[in-house]
DNA sequence: CAATAAAACGAACGGTCGTACTTTTTCTAG
DNA sequence: CTAGAAAAAGTACGACCGTTCGTTTTATTG
């Protein structure tokens, strides 16, 4: 790997953590450079604009999410096991101690929802993709016989996502010590409602 | 009402809408002043610091939330009807066309969760208060006989909150046209799980 | 090793930010 | 109507912002 790529990744790693705390808007090129012992202009040259930097950070985060959550999930056996893997790894993602600033996607979602542009487009795309993947796993769970045939998979994915959001909120803002337990209880209820006849 | 109070409220109304879009951090004293036809220093004098302005905005938002969501809810008859009122008005709050920037509390929650200070304290306090109020309504629903006696009210509030968060996310970021339907379906499921025996 | 390309630097730009003062205007009470 | 208070404006400040450009250092490659 060339020297340039190397520093670029060092920058993105730091920026990723920084943006988790302060958001994509809060990212400061000067501050980032100082933290990394680089010059502002030297760092800037890697991206060409702040918006490019933001997109690069989102992309790097998406790659990481893929590794931590998506890949392990779609490797798990189809059906309920895979659905559980989705949820478990998603929770792990939110609790990752190496990213104490919280989920960058949730921060970006709130920041960008009213700010059209390539950064928002990227975020929306990756979130849709995530939702679709969950929906697909739910469909497979039906095929495999773990879920009832009349389960609304998109609805299932919506509710699972909602639980994750609720967990994040309770944990990060309210510091609710039982946030994870609550989330798991909610998820179990959701899961069993997809399994058992009404 | 004195002239000062009057402008102060004009400022807060505008700042409230502005912060809904750009967050509390994105609030700009200069920009706000320009929008309102005031001088930067004139506006500044009303609050003394940006942090004070942010807290004032949160306070004004809390008052508004009280009027739009809390008051109508606790006026509704105890039991399932009141719980439904909570949810319905909360959704209305999120859809309020006069605040196109989205829920300021959700924006602030993400912004402030890693930034200790009086603004965060205020937000956490008001969110806890809200949760407690929902929990209390759930307890009353048990007393009245609408809910089963073994319903975990805190768990119920957690899940209801999660659905609201999910709705907000699906609506605002993903622009999912069926977001409200999904949220209502999820809520109905939650409600019936608290009503019927397992 | 030398030639070339890539990377990092340093200084400066125009702007905006929050904040601190002083001065002027406007409201309000006696 | 007029003093005094309240509100608003005006000006200036230091700090930081993203960005540009020319230069210098460091890697890479023939």
Cα angle, residue A11 at apex, residues A5 and A12 outer, rounded to 5° = 90
Res A198: pLDDT: 52
Mutation for testing the A interface, residue in B173, B179, B186, B190 having most A CBs under 10 Å: B173
Average pLDDT over residues B53-60: 98
Q: Please indicate whether, in this complex, the C-beta atoms of B111 and A174 are within 8 angstroms of each other.
A: no
Residue B40: pLDDT band with limits 50, 70, 90: very high
Stretch 114-173 of chain B: residues touching chain A, C-beta under 8 Å: 114, 123-124, 127-128, 131, 152, 154-155, 158-159, 161-163, 165-167, 169-170, 172-173
Residue B12: pLDDT band with limits 50, 70, 90: very high
* Cβ-based burial of A4 (10 A; exposed 0-12, middle 13-18, buried ≥19): exposed
Burial B123-153 (b: 16+ CB within 10 A, else e): bbebbeebbebbbebbbbbbeeebbeeebeb
State what percent of residues in chain B have pLDDT above 90: 96
The gap between A40 CA and C12 C1' (Å) is 13
Q: What is the pTM of this model?
A: 0.96
Q: Please indicate whether, in this complex, the C-beta atoms of B154 and A182 are within 8 angstroms of each other.
A: yes
CA distance B55 to A54: 29
> CB of B77 within 8 Å of any CB in chain A?
no
Per-residue pLDDT of chain A (198 residues; tens, 9 = 90+): 898 899 999 999 999 999 999 999 999 999 999 999 999 999 999 999 999 999 999 999 999 999 999 999 999 999 999 999 999 999 999 999 999 999 999 999 999 999 999 999 999 999 999 999 999 999 999 999 999 999 999 999 999 999 999 999 999 999 999 999 999 999 999 999 999 775
The CB-based long-range contact list for A34-37 (8 Å cut-off, 24+ gap) reads A36/A10, A36/A11
Strand C CB shell (< 7 Å): A 2-7, 33, 37-43, 45-46; B 2-3, 27-31, 40-41, 44-45, 48-51
Q: Over the stretch B104-121, which tens digit does the pLDDT of each residue have?
A: 999 999 999 999 999 999
Going A113 to B91 to B18 to B111, the CA torsion angle's sign is negative
Res A192: pLDDT: 96
Find the CB nearest B165 among A21, A26, A166: A166
Question: For residue B104, which of B190, B183, B25, B43 has the smallest C-alpha distance?
Answer: B25
């Amino acid at each position: 790997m060339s020297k340039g790529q190397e520093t670029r990744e060092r920058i993105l790693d730091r920026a990723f953590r920084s943006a988790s705390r302060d958001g994509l808007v809060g990212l400061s090129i000067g501050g980032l450079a100082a933290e990394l012992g680089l010059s502002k202009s030297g760092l800037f040259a890697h991206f060409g604009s702040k918006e490019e930097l933001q997109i690069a950070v989102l992309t790097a985060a998406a790659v990481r999410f893929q590794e931590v959550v998506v890949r392990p999930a779609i490797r798990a056996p189809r059906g309920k096991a895979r659905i559980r893997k989705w949820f478990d790894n998603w929770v792990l993602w939110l609790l990752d101690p190496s990213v104490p600033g919280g989920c960058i996607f949730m921060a970006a979602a709130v920041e960008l929802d009213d700010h059209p542009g390539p950064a928002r487009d990227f975020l929306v795309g990756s979130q849709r993709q995530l939702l679709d993947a969950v929906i697909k796993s739910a469909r497979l769970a039906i095929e495999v016989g773990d879920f009832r045939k009349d389960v609304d998979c998109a609805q299932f994915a919506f509710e699972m996502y909602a639980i994750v959001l609720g967990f994040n909120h309770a944990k990060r803002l309210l510091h609710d010590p039982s946030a994870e337990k609550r989330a798991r209880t909610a998820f179990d209820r959701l899961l069993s409602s997809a399994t058992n006849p009404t």
